[in-house]
């Protein structure tokens, strides 16, 4: 069965297998949406990203109902990608793995250019301002997988995915606030009965 991260990465048009965060819902700092390693993602920062996405959608004449988010809300998806990018940025620093701006440019060019990539990311709920960090996380993941023996066959790719997941979650654990739901390894965020529905960021 595909991991949740694999499914949502494809939904965002990144055309790359993904990994499942072994994140948990638990105690976090007041006002924090998540803790990535020792780094805090504040609820106010997340709300700002949600407003950015809504502005991007309006500029492209798209509605939130047209997004391919599965059962997740816009705040949950953006929180997911923010945590993912920060987790892999820190893991890359520790593993001495870098992704250059030219590599990101090449990735964009290979997928039809900036406009096409923006459209794919927006369809998956990723604001344009997060695009390069999201792609950097994907390319970092690919490099780490290659170091761990990923080849062209599904078996070696899957084995490398598991190893990278374990390394990432051991080195840079991610904890989400239960306000955004409970994290399920296969389904992603699911409703937390204790807190009710996830609050959406206020519209501008």
Q: Report the distance separating Cα 25 and Cα 176, nearest Å.
A: 5
Lowest mean pLDDT among 59-68, 135-144, 162-171, 192-201: 192-201
8: Cα within 13 Å, side-chain hemisphere:
28
pLDDT at 29: 55
| Residue boundaries of the structural domains of the chain | 4-20+31-180
User: pLDDT per residue over 95-132, tens digit each?
Assistant: 999 999 999 999 999 989 999 999 888 988 999 999 99
Provide the whole-model pTM: 0.81
Q: What is the CATH number of domain 4-20+31-180?
A: 1.10.4030
Here the tokens at position 196 are 């009710």
pLDDT at 186: 67
User: pLDDT per residue over 90-103, tens digit each?
Assistant: 999 999 999 999 99
User: pLDDT per residue over 179-201, tens digit each?
Assistant: 887 777 667 777 765 544 444 44
């Amino acid at each position: 069965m595909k991991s949740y991260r694999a499914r949502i990465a494809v939904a965002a048009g990144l055309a790359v297998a993904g990994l499942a965060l072994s994140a948990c819902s638990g105690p976090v700092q007041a006002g924090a949406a998540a803790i990535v390693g020792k780094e805090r993602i504040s609820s106010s920062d997340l709300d700002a990203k949600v407003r950015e996405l809504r502005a991007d959608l309006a500029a492209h004449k798209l509605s939130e109902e047209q997004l391919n988010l599965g059962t997740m809300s816009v705040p949950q998806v953006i929180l997911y990608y923010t945590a993912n990018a920060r987790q892999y940025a820190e893991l890359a620093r520790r593993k001495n793995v870098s992704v250059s701006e030219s590599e990101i440019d090449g990735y964009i060019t290979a997928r039809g250019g900036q406009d096409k990539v923006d459209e794919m990311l927006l369809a998956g709920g990723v604001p344009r301002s997060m695009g390069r960090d999201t792609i950097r996380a994907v390319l970092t993941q690919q490099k780490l997988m290659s170091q761990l023996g990923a080849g062209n066959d599904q078996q070696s790719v899957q084995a490398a995915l598991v190893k990278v997941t374990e390394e990432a979650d051991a080195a840079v654990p991610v904890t989400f606030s239960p306000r955004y739901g409970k994290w399920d390894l296969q389904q992603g965020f699911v409703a937390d009965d204790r807190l009710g529905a996830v609050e959406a960021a206020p519209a501008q």
